[in-house]
Amino acid sequence: MSVARARLLIACPDGRGIIAAVAGFIAEHQGNVLDADQHTDPEHGEFFMRAEIELNGFDLTCETFDAAWTPLADSLDMRWRMNWGTRKKRMAILVSRESHCLHDLLWRWKTGELDVDVPFVASNHADWRGDVEALGIPFHYLPVTPESKPQQEAELSRLLEADAVDFVVLARYMQILSPSFVERYPERIINIHHSFLPAFAGRRPYHQAFARGVKIIGATSHFATDVLDDGPIIAQATLEVGHWDTVDDMIRKGRDLERVVLARAVRLHAQDKILVSGHKTVVFE
């Protein structure tokens, strides 16, 4: 039987007694810690913690928690957030013409593997409208040119706000989002790309890698920032290749990696298992 639980995430300067203070606070309010992970970064002197709290018997609510918790959090200079588990996170998907990541995410959503809601899919091409709408998900066709980019992003922002979207997934969305757009959604845009960057940046990376005889290919999922493909990394995977692999083989294998790595990043984010520290992430699995 599932137990109602909240998730508390903490980042603060490291020091003695933090775990005891957090556990003591939860116990003082009749809470039960169902799961806890912590990590200390000795290089930067930072402490990170994720705790799942059983809500049955916990005498604080979303209305009363902040006032009770804030004195302790302020005394330890904490950055923190609390997810009460009252609703699923709402995930919008952006896609262009390559659909392997889109279809994989939708399959995982439909089977319940990804515990999220999908309010809409948007694309600068209309190719996948039928596939998306067949699942009962709204599809928004938002064509874009260099001249119309500000208007297109303004409409996308309007859709995200209107549907109360929590985070956005770039499922091979082959458009560079403007810095002003990305800044509105810090740590809320998840991207996927091949791991050849920066060695094989630009167009046709698999062809470049094939020509150089690489022995490993990979995929990387990260939070988008205003610097292209430079955000904090969430998940990665690699696969060995060899002289017997053609360009088509490498593209096929690369797509498989991209699907798995993006899905993993989405699952981690949906479960509040990622904390960002500067240019790095702490991922609790």
Mention the CATH class of domain 5-83.
alpha beta
- Fold equal for 5-83 and 89-283: no
The chain-wide mean pLDDT, for the chain, equals 94
Does 229 qualify as catalytic in the annotation?
Answer: yes
Condensed to tens digits (0 to 9), the pLDDT of residues 79-138 reads: 999 999 999 999 999 999 999 999 999 999 999 999 999 999 999 999 999 999 999 999
206-215: list long-range contacts, CB under 8 Å, 24+ apart: 206/247, 206/250, 206/251, 206/254, 207/247, 209/250, 210/245, 210/246, 210/247, 210/250, 213/243, 214/241, 215/240, 215/241, 215/242
Can you give the residue ranges of every domain in the chain? 5-83, 89-283
Catalytic residue among 14, 37, 229, 256: 229
Assign 227 a pLDDT band (cuts: 50, 70, 90): confident
Q: What pLDDT score does 50 carry?
A: 98
Pick the CATH number of 89-283 from 3.40.50.170, 3.30.230.80, 3.40.50.10320, 3.30.950.10: 3.40.50.170
